[in-house]
Chain A
Amino acid sequence: GAVVSQHPSWVICKSGTSVKIECRSLDFQATTMFWYRQFPKQSLMLMATSNEGSKATYEQGVEKDKFLINHASLTLSTLTVTSAHPEDSSFYICSATDRGYEQFFGPGTRLTVL
C-alpha cells in the first residue's frame, strides 16, 4: 500500500514551452502533497506544499507564477513548469501524506529543457 506515482517519468522539452507533471496517490487519499526539486548530486529542496482544495504554499525563492501547482482532488496534484528554460532542468519529486506520520514519495520526473 501507500503508493505514489508520477507521470511522466521523464520529459524533454524546448525552451519556452510549458510542462505538466502529475503526482497521484494510488491507494490512499492525500490531504497534503509536497513538491521537491533535486539538482544533480544535491539534496531534495522543497518547492511547495499543497493541500487539497486550497492554494499551494511556496517556499522562499520559488516563483509561484512559474511553478503552478494544482491539488484539485485527494489523489492528484499537478506541477506545471511554465515557460521552461534550461536552468529548470532538474529531477522533480512529489510526496503525499494522509495526515499520518509518513510522507510517501513518488519515483520522480526528470525534466530536460533544451
Chain B
Amino acid sequence: GQQLNQSPQSMFIQEGEDVSMNCTSSSIFNTWLWYKQDPGEGPVLLIALYKAGELTSNGRLTAQFGITRKDSFLNISASIPSDVGIYFCAGQRGEGAQKLVFGQGTRLTINP
C-alpha cells in the first residue's frame, strides 16, 4: 500500500538537542498528523494539522502543514529522555472516518 516518505529513519542525539523530521508525499493530503509510538503500544496523537501552511505547537513540539499539502515537518526542542520512541507522520484525505496513510517512522534515541 501507499506510504509517505519520512526521514530520517533514525536519529541518535544528546539530551537537550533539538530534533527535526519530515514527511513528503507525491499526492495531496488534507490533514497531516504526527504520532508517537512506544514499544509494544499503539500510536498516540501528538499534533494534528488541518490547513495548508498551518504551524501548530504542543509544548516542545512544533509541526507545520506544507503549503503544497504534500509535506509536513515535526520539530522537538530541548529533547528529554521520555522523547525516545518512534515518530510517525500520517496523511488523511478527509475527516476522521477516512483512512490514514503512514510514513515509515523515525526512531529517536537519546543519549543522556
Contacts and interface: CB of A to CB of B under 8 A. Distances in A.
Contacts of A25: none
B99 A99 contact: no
B43 A102 contact: no
B31 to A, nearest CB: 7
B43 A105 contact: yes
B105 A99 contact: no
Contact of A101 (B35, B44, B48, B105): B48
B50 A102 contact: no
A102 B99 contact: no
A6 B40 CA distance: 13
Nearest to B96: A97
B27 to A, nearest CB: 16
Interface residues of A, number: 29
B88 A44 contact: yes
A110 B39 CA distance: 11
Contacts of A6: 42
Contacts of B1: 45-46, 59-61
A36 B15 CA distance: 33
Contacts of A108: 40-42
Interface residues of B, number: 23
Given A43-B103, A60-B1, A101 B95 contact: yes
A98 interface: yes
B88 A99 contact: no
A103 interface: yes
Contacts of A1: none
Interface string A16-33: 000000000000000110
Contacts of A67: none
B43 to A, nearest CB: 5
Contacts of A105: 35, 42-44
Given A32-B97, A34-B99, A108-B41, A101 B3 contact: no
Interface of B: 1, 3, 31, 35, 40-45, 48, 50, 88, 95-97, 99-105
Q: Would you list the 9 A-B pairs with minimal beta carbon distance, nearest first?
A: A105-B42, A97-B96, A32-B97, A100-B96, A43-B102, A101-B96, A44-B102, A108-B42, A107-B42
